[in-house]
Structures are given as C-alpha cells and as structure tokens.
Amino acid sequence: MTSYNELAEVYEWLISDAKLTPAEFAASFDDVISLLPSNARVLDCSCGTGQLAVGLAGRGMQVAATDASEAMVRRTAELAEEFGAPVRAERANWEELPDHFDDETFDMVFCVGNSLHHAEGARGRDAALESMSRLLRPGGRLVLTSRNWELVRSRGSRLDISDHLVRRNGRDAVVIYRWDIASQWEEEHHIEIAIAQVDAAGPVLVRSELLSCWPYRHDELTAELHQAGLRTERSTYNPEAENYTVVASKA
C-alpha cells in the first residue's frame, strides 16, 4: 500500500535542485501556464509537499491542492501558510475528487511528478482519469508527467544509489531507489525509496517506504485519456528519455 506518510517528512531530498522553491517548480510548467488567464482556477491533484500549488497561487491563480496522503496535505498547508498563499488543501484520492469539487470547475488539473502509476492498474487509472476529466471545464487541460515505464521495465529489478550527497535543510543524504520489476506489465510493481541522512558526528538517520505502482505504456495512457474524454494535444514522449509530459484537453 502506498501512503507516502513516511517519505513526506523528508520529501525535499527527492525534489531536484532546480525545482525546490514554489516559484521554480511553477516555472518548470511555464509553457502550459502561459495558456491560462491570470486568475485561472487550477487543481494539483497529487500535490505532494505543495511547491507547485504554492507557486501557482503566487502567480494569482485560484488554487486547490489534494493528495491521498494526510502528511503530504499537511506539508502543503504549512508551505502555503509560510508563503501567505491562499491554497485550498484537502486530503482526497483521485476517485474521491468529485465529492470535493463540482464538475467543470477547473481550467487546468495537474497530476505531476510520477504520481499516476500509483493508481491500481488499468481500472484504477481509468477511474482516476475520469475524475480528473469531470472536474475540467470544456476546453480545460490535464497536465500529466510520467516516468517512461517502457525504459524502466527494460532495465529490470535493480538498485540505484545516488553517486553524490543531496543537501537539504543543512543535512546531507544518500538517496536509494530499489526497483522491483514484475514479469508482467499489469502486475503490481514496487519502488522502495530510502533517504539516509549522514553526518560524520552523529547517527545515520534512515527514512524509507515501499511504494506500490502499476506501470503503463505511453500508447495505453493515450487511449485511456481518450476514453476519459481527453484528447492528447501534445506529448514529449521519447523512447530514450526518462520522463515525459502529456497535455490533454477536454472536448
């Protein structure tokens, strides 16, 4: 079961240097944000620690932020308070979103940062995408970023250990990913993430979590978006690149 409640406290060690602040995180989506009016209504439906939501609010947008993890939502609310950003932060799974917001509320919904693979298989993804689609106004857009699972699966089960220390909040850490790749695409896969904070003068502090995920091919995702009433406008998918972004609009 994926909870992120352990990782929430140390999540900044997993965010790249270039996206650490809310302004920097939002700027990484400038190409799609430029399609929005300045007072647009936007939802980040897997908000994590809230950098994107707070960054969007800093640009004057009306922002809602949701996540399945209570601990992540708490961190988003804390970040919003720190920046004086008016963000409506609530705990909700993707399937629960229609209980929290009216249909056709948002101009843009973000589901970014390797989140969608946590939906349980094709059925879970369909339900998640259906919820996101319902909340978009006609012409509104879903912005989704994804791991390239074709590439990840081709490498098989393995261990990735960072070859440098990651420094956050004055502490260095080694970041470890353990990939448990099942033999079939549709089976449950696992990623174990460990953050080992190291300090020559003190104990090594380790936080880790075993996350479940269900991979999908880019073609499958395109078909599933279509099924949910979303037409892919652009995709950066490249068989050799680690990640890609899909922008899909609601008919």
Footprint of ligand SAM on this chain (CB under 6 A)? 2, 4, 15, 46, 48, 67-69, 72, 93-94, 112-115, 118-119
* Residue 174, strand partner residues: 196
The nearer residue to ligand SAM, 114 or 235, going by C-beta atoms, is 114
Buried b (16+ CB within 10 A) or exposed e, 198-227: eeeeeeeeebebebebbbbebeebbebbee
CA distance 7 to 207: 7
What does the DSSP 8-state code read for residue 44? E
The nearer residue to ligand SAM, 46 or 148, going by C-beta atoms, is 46
Contact indicator for 137, 106 with CB cutoff of 8 Å: yes
Output the residue with the shortest Cβ distance to ligand SAM: 113
The nearer residue to ligand SAM, 187 or 199, going by C-beta atoms, is 187
Q: How far is the CB of 68 from ligand SAM (least distance, A)?
A: 4
The nearer residue to ligand SAM, 118 or 153, going by C-beta atoms, is 118
Q: How far is the CB of 125 from ligand SAM (least distance, A)?
A: 10
Q: How far is the CB of 245 from ligand SAM (least distance, A)?
A: 12
Q: How far is the CB of 25 from ligand SAM (least distance, A)?
A: 8
> Which residues, at least 6 apart from 164, have a Cβ–Cβ distance to it below 8 Å?
none
